[in-house]
Amino acid sequence: MKLFVTFEGGEGCGKTLQSKNLYLKMVKLAMPAILIHEPGGTPLGEKIRHLLKKSCDIPISSLSELLLFNASRSQIVADVILPALEEEKIVICDRFSDSTVAYQSFARGLDISTVEHVNGIACQGVIPDVTFLLDVPPEIGLARKRAGANDRFEQEDLDFHHRVREGFLKMAKQRPRRWVIIDATLPVKEIREIIWKRVSREIEKA
């Protein structure tokens, strides 16, 4: 069956763990699924990911950032996502175009219609069926992360991360049929159950 599930949220929200848990559940049930992440997921995308996250010494303007995220995205959409959906697979993606709206528009301040326009070109008509927002106060999410290495985004100030959170919450509230807001401070097992409940409903519907 064809299903596109995305995970979104601020730093340290636990979406990488939860997307992996969902993927492993699919594997256990012998359902055809792939797990991917953004930026990255292709040879070009991984190089762009490194540039965007790790190259803190290279100045990157907000507009360049928008275009780089979407260069990575257009490659993964064409090479991985569209072919997988055509093969009736379940595609689980750790971040997608909603991250660009939250980070490059709400947090960086780029005009939202510009961001949505560029996202639209890269997405080639692909829209998630379900998006899980793992909502966590930035103070908590960053504290979970700051024990590890700091990347370009983790180094941004608290206000930046509050704007990211508000952006995600605004988008989620505008489209409640697609988005599921989850309190990411809940125990991991409880979050996993909320996610599975919604995904199994989607599978039954299909």
Q: Which of 4, 7, 23, 69 binds ligand TMP (CB under 6 A)?
A: 69
Q: Which two tokens stand for residue 131?
A: 């998006």
CB of 25 to ligand TMP, least distance (A): 21
Which residues touch 175 (CB under 8 Å, ≥6 apart)?
none
Q: Quick check: 103 binds ligand TMP (CB under 6 A)?
A: yes
Q: Quick check: 160 binds ligand TMP (CB under 6 A)?
A: no
The C-alpha atoms of residue 45 and residue 63 are separated, in whole angstroms, by 18
Which residues touch 153 (CB under 8 Å, ≥6 apart)?
11, 53, 103
User: How many residues belong to the site for ligand TMP (CB under 6 A)?
Assistant: 12
CB of 57 to ligand TMP, least distance (A): 17
Which residues touch 57 (CB under 8 Å, ≥6 apart)?
none
| Complex with ligand TMP: residue 85 or 105, whichever CB lies closer | 105
Residues that bind ligand TMP (CB under 6 A): 11, 37-39, 53, 69, 95, 99-100, 103-104, 153
